Structure 1
Amino acid sequence: MISRLLLPLVMLLAGVAFFAADVTGTWQGDYHTREGGTIPTTLTLKVDGSNLTGALKSGKGPEQPIENGTVNGDEISFVITYTGEGGSRKVNYTGKLEGDQLKLVGQAEGRPRKIELTLSRKPS
């Protein structure tokens, strides 16, 4: 009898784990440089199923569109291509939603140093 009552509850809880996290919205925080400075950073995201679109803006630089964005549960990933005087470089970002914070790690192709960001959801 108890197993009949617990089975629907277990199935319901297991199903919740498969839903994508709702990271749609605007996220803000500061990037902390090696020199001790901070750069204000804004990430705007929109989720459509498992697809993730949006843009990242750091400091006074232009808004950079995200590419190949995906959502899997409470984890996200995307790529940003930065273009400058020295050419272009891709930065691969992965992140995890933890409460009202989005914790991101970026890894530029060909560079050992990682970029770490903790962003908070901007109230609507």
Structure 2
Amino acid sequence: MIKKTVTTLFMVMAFVTFGYAQDITGNWKGTVNDQFEINYTFKVEGEKLTGASKGPDGSDRPISNGVIKGEDLSFSIDIMGNPIQIKGKIKGSDADKTKAETIQLFFTINGNDVTLVLSPVK
């Protein structure tokens, strides 16, 4: 009986967790220091996050070690030979928690903390 109850509870928790996961697959853009436009292409498969970033110079930088869990995400991008660890938060609309409206990314480059807000490209 306890095994059945625990199994049922686990399944309910799994469905609730996946129900709140936000799909950010697609193109996103933001501006760093009000100067440099950065574009991201994200692809989500379960908890795996892949894609690439296109910087101001036009070069693509692939995302590595990408993970997405609920509204939290993390990945790495190689910039000039240095792996940059990026963490982020997905913000959804109040009416539909599964629709992402913005993504806030947080990282440190050259000793400076940077926050980048991305919006979907329409």
Amino acid at match of 1:30: T
Measure the CA separation in 1 of the matches of 2:13 and 2:121. Answer: 29
Amino acid at match of 2:104: K
**TM-score between the two structures when normalised by the length of structure 2:** 0.75
* Cα distance per residue 1:35-62 (max 9 Å; x no partner): xx51011010000111000001121241
Which residue does the alignment assign to 2:103? 102
Q: Is the 8 A contact 1:77 1:93 kept in 2?
A: yes
Q: Is the 8 A contact 1:95 1:105 kept in 2?
A: yes
Measure the CA separation in 2 of the matches of 1:64 and 1:120. Answer: 19
Unmatched 5+ residue regions in structure 1?
A: 1-10
SS at match of 1:66: strand
**TM-score between the two structures when normalised by the length of structure 1:** 0.74
Show structure 1 runs of 4+ deviating over 4 A.
11-14
- Matched residues, number: 102
Which residue does the alignment assign to 1:120? 119
Which residue does the alignment assign to 1:89? 82
Measure the CA separation in 1 of the matches of 2:57 and 2:14. Answer: 44
Which residue does the alignment assign to 1:76? 73
Which residue does the alignment assign to 1:27? 28
Which residue does the alignment assign to 1:5? none
Deviation at 1:15, TM superposition (A): 3.6
Aligned-pair identity in percent equals 34
Over the aligned positions, Cα root-mean-square deviation in angstroms equals 1.9
Bigger Rg over Cα: 1
